[in-house]
Chain A
Amino acid sequence: MTQVETVATLADAARQVVGGQISGDAVYLGGGTVLMRDVNAGEGPARLVRTMDPALREVRISGDRIRLGAGVTMAQVLAEADLAFLHPVARQIGGPQVRAMGTVGGNIFAPHPYGDFAVALLALGAQVTLAGGSSGPGRALDDILRDRERSPTLISAIELSRPQAGAFGFLKVSRVKPKGVSVMSIAVHTPQSAGRIQGARVAWGAMGPAPTRSVAVERALEGGTLDTAAIERAAQVATEGLNPPTDAIATSWYRKEVAGVHLKRLLTSMGGR
């Protein structure tokens, strides 16, 4: 049977962390949408550690800088008018019940094929603040996602900058609408300078064990505009470096076959804005 320990702050929980797990036999409980499944099945960890630390639920917006506490839910994101650019992403996470429970921080660690919000954060170049860490610059989300099973500690917040108007696009491909698990999700961020794309970031979800960037697509878009030729070049290299898994939703082959088509559709819709 799983024991539950409630501590005052996330820092208190983080002090017990050893290699992403707490004292080896316990796991941090966020929104519960993933972990409680295991608990219900009798396969949960020996201990759950949780906190009601209100700082985790804070949304801070200062100009174009945004700070989301790791415990901010998808429903909270949808309730913030200033986060409208993230609404198409949050709205694609589960149904209303999951959105009221699932957290931004938890989404970063949600196993395949979940984690669509993290895909958007990755494309937006988000940084994470680690619990108990200094107030200095955060750590790139890329680093956490690269080896998230070995995250050194808990995440307290996610920081990102608001994208230029029309520079961010997101597409989730699923078989069941409006609520379905991802065949794949794609997030594209194409900031422009002097009419040219500078610093393109493209991220895929459900196309690997964790959300991952597509360097080949980013290279195809960099320095240009979202015209037909650039979109075609990007679509041709869509799956370069990707090794999508086969699961109950889709085979690896299918994911590779349709990835370019969906990328093309997303880029075309962004180019037409």
Chain B
Amino acid sequence: MAKKPVSFTHNGVETAAFADPGQNLLEFLRRGVGDLTPKYGCGQGTCGACTVTVDGEPHLSCLTLAESVEGRSVGTVAGLANGATLDPLQEAFMDHFAAQCGYCTPGMLVAARVLLDANPNPSLDEVIEAISGNLCRCTGYEPIIEAIMAVANGSYGSAGRAAL
């Protein structure tokens, strides 16, 4: 069956690749584009491990049709760091032991970055709400929440940065 060309902005870079018919964005990013940072967890929109941004909004890439991002801007956790300089959230996740197996971490980081881009000073409840679509089976969530709050509280400098 015919593949479809999809042109979009991937982490700020104009990108084009071919999508299989009915292919979801997660598979497209991993197999077609070569960005392995979004993870396949459940394939049902339950775990959030595949979270990316589409035009700045958090999306479940496993439930997003690949060809629907034509002309749009897609952000993944691979776009968070600037070369060797990590995003404050990445620093905070390391410092707070917010990753154990690490499988949920890319989705958690993207969800947290979307929150802080929209609301640099979230309350604890707002942080919990922001990651409510992301499952973690290792940490019990507390280290993740503490890491995000630490960035929001200014422990890592300004939480503001260019949005994904």
Give A residues with C-beta under 8 Å from B.
1-4, 6, 29, 32-33, 36-37, 39-41, 44, 48, 50, 75, 94-98, 100-101, 178-179
Contacts and interface: CB of A to CB of B under 8 A. Distances in A.
Contacts of B54: 100
Contact of A75 (B24, B57, B68): B57
Describe B's contact surface by its main secondary structure: mixed
Contact of B62 (A6, A40, A178): A40
- List of 10 A-B pairs having minimum Cβ-Cβ separation, nearest first: A95-B133, A2-B22, A100-B57, A179-B132, A36-B63, A40-B43, A95-B132, A97-B133, A97-B58, A97-B60
B95 interface: no
Contacts of A33: 45, 60, 63
Given A4-B67, A40-B63, A48-B22, 12 more contacts: A4-B65, A32-B65, A36-B24, A36-B45, A36-B64, A40-B62, A50-B68, A95-B132, A95-B133, A97-B51, A97-B111, A179-B133
A259 to B, nearest CB: 26
Contacts of A75: 57
A40 B50 CA distance: 13
B68 A100 contact: no
A247 B17 CA distance: 42
B44 A40 contact: yes
A96 B60 contact: no
Contacts of B67: 4, 6
B1 to A, nearest CB: 6
A32 B64 contact: yes
Nearest to A37: B44
A1 B22 CA distance: 7
B128 A178 contact: yes
Contacts of B133: 94-98, 179
A267 B3 CA distance: 54
Residue of A29, A32, A41 with most partner-chain B CB within 10 A:
A32
A1 B21 contact: yes
13 contacts: A1-B21, A29-B65, A32-B63, A36-B64, A36-B65, A48-B65, A95-B131, A95-B134, A96-B115, A97-B48, A97-B58, A100-B58, A178-B132
B65 A96 contact: no
A41 B22 CA distance: 12
Residue of B1, B21, B60 with most partner-chain A CB within 10 A:
B60
B59 to A, nearest CB: 6
Given A29-B65, A41-B43, A96-B132, A101 B22 contact: no
A131 to B, nearest CB: 20
B130 interface: yes
A1 B130 CA distance: 34
Contact of B129 (A40, A44, A178): A178
B20 A96 contact: no
Contacts of A178: 128-129, 132
Contact of B130 (A29, A39, A96): A96
B152 interface: no
Contacts of A39: 22, 24
Given A2-B21, A29-B65, A100-B58, A37 B130 contact: no
